[in-house]
Amino acid sequence: MTSLRFPRIASIVVGAVSLTLAACASYREDWVAPTSPQGTMCVAQCSTNKQTCEIAQQALKQQCNATYQKTLSDYQRCRAVNPANSYCTSYRTKTETVNGQTVTRQECASTRYESPCGQEPGNSCAATPNSSSCEANYKSCFQSCGGTINRYEVK
């Protein structure tokens, strides 16, 4: 039984390594445009649609950034006029001797600071426009026009 286990484990490890290396492989694509006049016009329309998509994505990003900047500015303005409030969230009992007498008092163990302005807004706008959907749509359109995309692994 143990003699069968080693080859099985070895093949699983080799398979996992192969998959990992395949995930890191580089690929090259050769795009072959259709040669017919209809195919050429179709691909031109695909290009126009892709450009329109990318412009729309860029406009969405700019709108998102403008909204973020306004929200951040409003937050900073609020913080400038409204300092954070602090309050004790937990207490501990402390016993000490003062002038020969044992005195027990409550002492703050944990303080929480809260701003009336809420939390600082985060920037949820992507660093780059989401043009991957534009590219995927273009690729599909290109192929439906009769174009072919040949993908090769670069070794």
Contact criterion met (CB below 8 Å) for 111 and 87: yes
At 128 the pLDDT is 62
- In sequence order, what DSSP letters do the residues of 32-48 get, joined into one string? E---SHHHHHHHHHHHH
User: Structural domain boundaries of the chain?
Assistant: 36-82+121-155, 85-116
Residues contacting residue 102 through CB under 8 Å, at least 6 positions apart: 95, 96
Q: Which two tokens stand for residue 121?
A: 């807004």
148-154/85-98 β-pairing: unpaired
3-class state of residue 34 by DSSP: coil
Q: Can you tell me the distance from the alpha carbon of 57 to that of 64, in angstroms, rounded to the nearest whole number?
A: 11
For 122-150, the pLDDT digits (tens) are: 888 876 667 789 999 999 999 999 999 99
Q: What is the DSSP letter of 120?
A: P
**Cα 133–chain centre separation:** 15
Q: Is 7 a residue whose pLDDT tops 60? A: no
Model confidence, pTM? 0.58
**Model confidence band, residue 66 (pLDDT cutoffs 50, 70, 90):** very high
Owner of token pair 């445009």: 33
Q: What are the pLDDT digits (tens) for 68-80? A: 999 999 999 998 8
Euclidean distance between CA atoms 95 and 113, whole angstroms: 27
Q: Which is nearest to 50 in space by CA: 111, 126, 140, 127?
A: 140
What is d(CA 143, CA 145) in angstroms, rounded to the nearest whole number?
5
pLDDT at 31 over 90: yes
